Structure 1
Amino acid sequence: MTHLPARATALLGALLLLAGCSAPPEPAATRTRDVGVQMFQWTWDAIATECTDSLGPAGYGWVLTSPPQEHIVGEPWWTAYQPVSYRVESRLGTRDEYAAMVETCHDAGVDVWADAVINHMTGQDAPGTGWAGSSYSHYEYPGLYTDADFHHCGLTPDDDIAVYQDAAQVQMCELVNLADLATETDHVRDTTTAYLEDLLSLGVDGFRIDAAKHMPPEDIAAIVAGLPEGAGIAQEVIRGSGEPITPEQYLANGRVYEFAWGKDVQGVLASSPERVLDLGTTSGYVPSDDAVIFVDNHDTERNGSTLSYSDAGDYALATVLMLAGTYGTPAVYTGYAFSDRDAGPPQDAEGAVLDASCGAAPGPGADLADGDWVCQHRWPAIAGMVGWRSIVGDAPVVDDWSEGSAVAFGRGERGFVVVNSGDDELHAELPTSLPDGDYCDVLATGDCASSTVRDGVLTVTVPPQTAQAWDVTARP
C-alpha cells in the first residue's frame, strides 16, 4: 500500500471536510489470512481456478485438498481414503495438475494443505488394481508394503476395533477393515515420511493427518520429525466421552481438529447464542492456538453430529459466528449435495471426477439435486465474513451484547457483527467502538446497505435468521 506524505494527507482531509465527507479510516495494520477451506472432492484444476477467481480475492488463507494419492476404484467418496500407492495420481487429477494447482493457489495468496492418509491402506479383502494401475491385495502393496508392515491385533474376533474405551484396540486394530499400518516400525515410518516429503516437493504447505487418533502420538512424531521446519500439521483426533485417547496427547506434534466446537455451536445457536463467546474457554477444548475449528466436515455432514448445508440459514449463521470469534483457526467446508451418504461426487464414464461449478448465485436454501456443488465458501455471508476477519485481525472482543436469539459484538475498533437467529426482526441501538460514520454491511449483496454509527451507537434492523457485519474499510 502506498502511504501519502503527511502534507498530502492533511490536504486530502481538508478537501474531504470541505466536500462534506469524513476522512477514510486507517485500515488494519496487517490483513490476516488464517481462514482455511476444505474443498471436498474438488479436482485439482477446479481448485486452481477457484483460488484465482474466489478464494484469493475473498481473503482465504489456505485450502485443504482431498487425499492426493492413488486409491481404489469405485464411485463412493470414501474410495479416496483407501490408498493403493503413494503416487500422486487419482480421480481428482494428475501429479502435474496437482503441482500446477499449488503454484496457481500460491500466486493467489492461498496456501495448500493435503489430506494425508497414512494410518492405513485399503479395506478390500479381494485383490484389485488401483486408479493408476497399481496392483494390490489387502496386505500386499508391491514395492511399498508387505504383510509384515501391518497390525494383526488379535484383540477382537475380526481384528476390527470394537471398544473405543480400549486404547490398544483403537491404535492397533483395524478401523472398519482398513489394513492398519504398523507405524511403530522403521520401514513404515520412513515410507510415509517419504510420501509427505514428496508432496512438500510439489509445494504443499501442510498436512491434515487423517485418522491420527488411530496412531500413537509418538508414531506421528517420528513420521513428521524429519519434515522441514514450517511444514504445517493438523491432526484428526475425535474427542469421545470417557475415552482414554484425547486430542491433548497429540499437541506436541502440531494442531488438532477440535470437534467439540462444531458439535457445541449447533446447540448454542438454537438456545443461547450469547454463549458462543464461551466456546473454547471451558474444559473439553484444547487451547486456541492448538485448535482448528469447523462447523462441519465430510464426515460430520454425513453422520449428523453437526450442522450441514441442509440446515441452510442456521448453517450460515454458525459459520458467521465461527469467523467472527477469536477461538481457534477456522476452516470453512465446501462439498456437494447428496441423499445417499456413500455417494461420490459427479464423475464421467471412466470414474474421473468432473470439475466443480458453483453457478451464478450460491447460497443457503438453494434448490440442489444430488451431486450439485453447494459452494458454501461463496455464500455471501460466509465469503463476506472471511474478508471481515482479515480486517479485524487479532483485535479483542469488545462491546458484546445479547438479547433473546440475537448476539452482537465488536473486534476492537475494526469491526462489528450482529447475528439474529430468531424468528422476529431485530431492532436495536447497540454500543460499538467503531468510529462514527457510515458503513456498508459486508454480508449484503448488491449495492452498499448503509448503517450509521453516531456517538458510539449503531442502530440496526436485522431480519430473522440473518446476520450483518461492518468493518473500518467498508464505507459508502
Structure 2
Amino acid sequence: MRRLLIVLLSLSLAGLSGPVAQAAPSGDRDVIVQLFEWNWNSVARECGQVLGPKGYGAVQVSPPQEHVVLPGSGYPWWQDYQPVSYKLDNTRRGTRGQFVAMVNSCHAAGVKVYADAVINHMTGGSSGGTGSAGSAYSHYDYPGTYQTQDFHHCGRNGNDDIVNYNDRYEVQNCELVDLADLATESDYVRGRIAAYLNDLLSIGVDGFRIDAAKHIPATDIAAITSRLSRPAYVYQEVIYGAGEPITPDEYVGNGDVLEFRYGKDLAKIFNTERLAYLRTFAEPLPSDHAVVFTDNHDTQRGTGVLTFRDNGRYAMANAFMLAWTYGTPKVMSSYEYSSNDEGPPSTSTGQTVDTTCFTNRWRCEHEWRVIANMVGFHNAVRGTAVTEWWDNGNDAIAFGRGDKGYLILNDESTALTGRSYHTDLPAGTYCDVFHGDYTPGHCSGSTYTVDSSGWFRADVAATDGLALHADAKVS
C-alpha cells in the first residue's frame, strides 16, 4: 500500500512457551522475488518454468484477500492494499482455488510462497461499496468481520489521519491516508487477523510480509503471530525515518525487517559516489535480520533508488546485492507504468491478465540474465566470506567469495582491459554467468580459465561485469 514500512516477524505456536519466529528463510535457497501484481495462474507457471530452475527460494505474492474495486480510479495497484474481508474467493488475481493451485505448483518446483499480509487497516473513504468478492462494506463496518468498536478513532487532526510522524501515538493509532486503523491491541482483532493468517498457512503458505508494520506496535504483532498454527517466516515493513521515535530495530525481536536504507544507499554509491566504497557496505540492522532490496513497488515510485529504467546499472546493483554477504536478498519484478497509481496490465473490468514477460508492460527484471544467473551465484557462495578484494579507487571493483565465486563490476565509462585477477576458485574453466547461461559442461557465453595459481585474465566493458562460480564450472 502507499506507505513504506518494514515488516516484522514474531511467530510462535499457540500453547508453546517460546517463539518460533524464523530469523531467516530456511533451506539453501533464500532469495525472494516479488512478482508484483501477478495473477495466481502466472505465478504458478513461473515457479515451474523459471523460479525453481534458476534457484529462487521464495516468491512474494500480492495481497490475497478481498479488496476494494475502484474503476473510477482506473483500478489502481493500491486498491489491493485496502481489505474488505479476509475471503480469498475472488480478487483481481484469481480465485481461492487458483491460489491453492499456485501454492502447490510453487512447492512442487521447490519455491516457497510468502503472502503480502495487510493487517494494519481496512479501507479508506466513508462512502463504502462492494468488494471484489461481493462483500458490502463501509469505512468502519465490515459485516461478519469488524465493526466500529474494532477500530482506532484517534480524534486528532480533524479527519483522524496521521500528520506528525514524530508522535508515536499518532503513527500507531491514527489513520494512514484515511485507511480505517484496526485496534490491534484488541483480543478480538488479534484473533480475527490470526485466523486469516492461519487460513493461509492451512493452504501451505510459508510466510508473510507484514505490510505497514510501523503502524502496529511490535508487541501487537508478537501477540498476533503467537497465535499462528505453525512456524512461518515473517518479514516486516518498517520504513526508517530520521529522528522518528519508531525505528526498525525495535521489531527485530520478532523476526526480520525490510531494510529500506539499503536501496537508497546503494543507489547513492552507484550514482554519485564510488563503487570502491562498497568494500564495507552494510546497514545498521543486523545482517541476519535484514531483508535487502534495490527497489520495491513503493520505492520505485519515489526517488533515490535504482529501478528497471536504469538498465545496466540496475543489473549491476542487483548483481552486487546477490554476491555480497549482507542480508536476505529480495529481487523486484515490475511492470511499466505511466503514473504512480497505474495498475498492472488488466482487462476492461480490472482483472490482471496473464503475464508474458517483456511484452504488454511486464518488465520481469527477475528474468534478466544477469539477475537470474546471479541467484545461482548467490546460492553457490552461501556461507563464504569476502576474499581477494580489488578496486581501482573509483568505479571498478572485484572480489571473491572464498573458493566458490568471483565477481567483477565496472561502472567506469571505459573498459577495464589488460588486467589479470586473482581468485581462490580451484583451477578450471568457468562460465561467465553475466553473459551466458550454464548447463552441465556447457556455457552459452564466454568462459574463463583459472590457472593453478588462481589467476585469470579478463577484459570487462564499461557498465558491465563478469561473474564466475563453482556451480558453473565447464571443465
TM-score by length of 2: 0.89
For 1:366-396, what per-residue CA distance to the aligned partner results, in whole angstroms no more than 9, with x for missing partners?
xx7xx51000000000001001111111111
CA contact (8 A) 1:263 1:305 kept: yes
Of residues 386, 392, 397, the one that matches 1:407 is 397
CA RMSD after TM alignment? 1.4
For 1:264-286, what per-residue CA distance to the aligned partner results, in whole angstroms no more than 9, with x for missing partners?
00011232112224222x5xx21
Matched residue SS, 1:118: coil
What does 1:443-458 align with in structure 2 at a 5 Å threshold? 443-445=434-436, 447-454=444-451, 455-458=453-456
> Greater CA deviation, 61-70 or 149-158?
149-158
For 2:222 and 2:363, the matched residues in 1 are separated by 36
Q: What's the CA shift for 1:333?
A: 0.5
Match of 2:4 in 1: none
What does 1:296-335 align with in structure 2 at a 5 Å threshold? 296-335=295-334
CA contact (8 A) 1:32 1:389 kept: no
Of residues 269, 272, 275, the one that matches 1:273 is 275
Match of 1:436 in 2: 427
Matched residue SS, 2:459: strand
Match of 2:357 in 1: 358
CA contact (8 A) 1:384 1:443 kept: yes
For 2:314 and 2:47, the matched residues in 1 are separated by 23
Match of 2:28 in 1: 32
For 1:237 and 1:258, the matched residues in 2 are separated by 8
- Give 2:435's aligned amino acid: A
For 2:168 and 2:27, the matched residues in 1 are separated by 43
- Give 2:465's aligned amino acid: A
> Greater CA deviation, 396-405 or 129-138?
396-405
For 1:190-245, what per-residue CA distance to the aligned partner results, in whole angstroms no more than 9, with x for missing partners?
00000000000110000000000001100101110111443111000001100000
CA contact (8 A) 1:31 1:393 kept: no
Counting matched residue pairs gives 434
Match of 1:392 in 2: 381
For 1:104 and 1:118, the matched residues in 2 are separated by 26
Of residues 70, 87, 92, the one that matches 2:66 is 70
Q: What's the CA shift for 1:303?
A: 1.2
Q: What's the CA shift for 1:71?
A: 0.3
Match of 1:18 in 2: none
Unaligned runs of at least 5 residues, structure 2: 1-25, 438-443
For 1:154 and 1:272, the matched residues in 2 are separated by 49
In the alignment, structure 1 residue 264 sits paired with structure 2 residue 265: yes
Q: What's the CA shift for 1:410?
A: 0.6
Match of 1:87 in 2: 87
CA contact (8 A) 1:416 1:432 kept: yes
Match of 1:8 in 2: none
TM-score by length of 1: 0.89
Name the CA shift for 1:414/1:31 in 2 (closer, same or farther; >3 Å). farther
Match of 1:342 in 2: 341
Match of 2:39 in 1: 43
Q: Taking every aligned residue pair, what percent have the same amino acid on both sides?
A: 50
For 1:278 and 1:355, the matched residues in 2 are separated by 42
For 1:276 and 1:103, the matched residues in 2 are separated by 40
Which one scores higher on RCO, CA 8 angstroms, separation ≥ 6? Answer: 2
Matched residue SS, 1:306: coil
For 1:193 and 1:223, the matched residues in 2 are separated by 6
Q: What's the CA shift for 1:426?
A: 0.9
Match of 1:9 in 2: none
Q: Radius of gyration: which is bigger?
A: 1
- Give 1:471's aligned amino acid: H
In the alignment, structure 1 residue 289 sits paired with structure 2 residue 278: no
Match of 2:9 in 1: none
For 1:223 and 1:84, the matched residues in 2 are separated by 20
CA contact (8 A) 1:442 1:470 kept: yes
- Give 1:68's aligned amino acid: P
> Greater CA deviation, 459-468 or 238-247?
459-468
Q: What's the CA shift for 1:31?
A: 8.7
CA contact (8 A) 1:31 1:390 kept: no
Match of 1:5 in 2: none
Q: What's the CA shift for 1:451?
A: 1.2
For 2:243 and 2:27, the matched residues in 1 are separated by 41
Match of 2:213 in 1: 212
Of residues 411, 421, 424, the one that matches 1:421 is 411
For 1:372 and 1:277, the matched residues in 2 are separated by 36
Unaligned runs of at least 5 residues, structure 1: 1-29, 360-367
For 1:407-428, what per-residue CA distance to the aligned partner results, in whole angstroms no more than 9, with x for missing partners?
1111110110101111110122
Match of 1:138 in 2: 139
Matched residue SS, 1:187: helix
- Give 2:422's aligned amino acid: P
CA contact (8 A) 1:41 1:65 kept: yes
- Give 2:365's aligned amino acid: Q
CA contact (8 A) 2:166 2:245 kept: yes
For 2:290 and 2:232, the matched residues in 1 are separated by 16
In the alignment, structure 1 residue 223 sits paired with structure 2 residue 224: yes
Matched residue SS, 1:179: strand
Of residues 447, 457, 466, the one that matches 1:459 is 457
Q: What's the CA shift for 1:305?
A: 3.4
CA contact (8 A) 1:190 1:223 kept: yes
CA contact (8 A) 1:208 1:234 kept: yes
